[in-house]
Amino acid sequence: MKCDPLKGYHLRKGDLFFETIDPVTGSPLPEGEAGEVVFTTLTCKGMPLIRYRTGDLARFLPEPCSCGSVLARMEAMRGRLKGQIMIGNDHPLNIPELDEALFPIPGVVSYKVEILSENGNDCMEITFCVREGREQAVSASATETPHEVPAIHESLEQGNFRIAPFRFGETGWSTTGVAKRMILDRRQEEASS
C-alpha cells in the first residue's frame, strides 16, 4: 500500500510475509540489501503461495516512514530480473539504475548500452542521444556519472571492467518507457564468432 509521502510501499504483514533473496542462491538477504522479492501468503487457505518468486528487484527500507505508519516498507521496484545482466564478477546491472545515473545529465535524451568482451574482461559502450550541440557538455558531465551505479563501481574497483569512450547516435530515438532502452549483451556473439 502507498501512503501520502509516496516513499515506498507499506507491507500488510498480517496477510503476506515478504523477503528479499539472492536471485542466484535463494538465500535471504539482510534488511536494506536489494534482491529478488518473494512472498508467502499467510491467510490464503485455498491456494497458498510459499516463497513465490516475483522476478522483481527491490529492498526493504529500514528507516521509519514520514507518514507515521509502523508498517514495514519496501522501496519502489528497481526493475525485473529479466532487465538486468551480470558484469564483472557477477554484479547485477539494470536499466532503472542506469536511468537514475544518466538522465539527470543535462542534454541527454536517451541512451543505449552494450556490454562487450575485451581480453577476457567486460567493456561497456554507452551511445548517447543528446540535444543538438550538447555532445561536448554531455561527454564532460558523463565521465564520472556511471561510477555512481553500484555494479559499475564495484566492477571497476575489481579491475575486470572498462568503460569505453562515449559515442553519440541519431536524435530520432524514442524517449519514453524503460522498454525502449536495453542493455545489449554482445559477449556471447563475440565468443561464437
Q: Where are the domains of the chain?
A: 9-77, 82-192
Q: How far apart are CA 126 and CA 165, in angstroms?
A: 8
9-77 classified as CATH 2.30.38: yes
Phi, psi of 70 (to 5 degrees): -95, -5
Q: What is the DSSP letter of 8?
A: S
Residues 82-192: name the CATH superfamily. Answer: ANL, C-terminal domain (3.30.300.30)
| 9-77 against 82-192: fold identical | no
- Per-residue pLDDT, 94: 83
Cβ proximity of 170 and 129 under 8 Å: yes
The pTM for the full model equals 0.60
Handedness of CA 39, 8, 20, 188 (dihedral sign): positive
- Per-residue pLDDT, 178: 44
3-state helix, strand, coil in the chain (%, to 5): 20, 35, 45
Q: How far apart are CA 87 and CA 97, in angstroms?
A: 14
Name the grid cell of 169: 547516435
User: DSSP H helical segments within 48-128, as ranges?
Assistant: 95-102
In this structure, are strands 52-58 and 79-80 parallel, antiparallel, or unpaired? Answer: antiparallel
- Per-residue pLDDT, 177: 47
> Which is nearest to 54 in space by CA: 36, 40, 72, 42?
36
pLDDT along the chain (193 residues), means of 10: 79 87 87 88 86 87 86 80 80 85 91 90 92 90 88 91 89 49 78 58
Cβ proximity of 39 and 16 under 8 Å: yes
Q: How far apart are CA 183 and CA 193, in angstroms?
A: 20
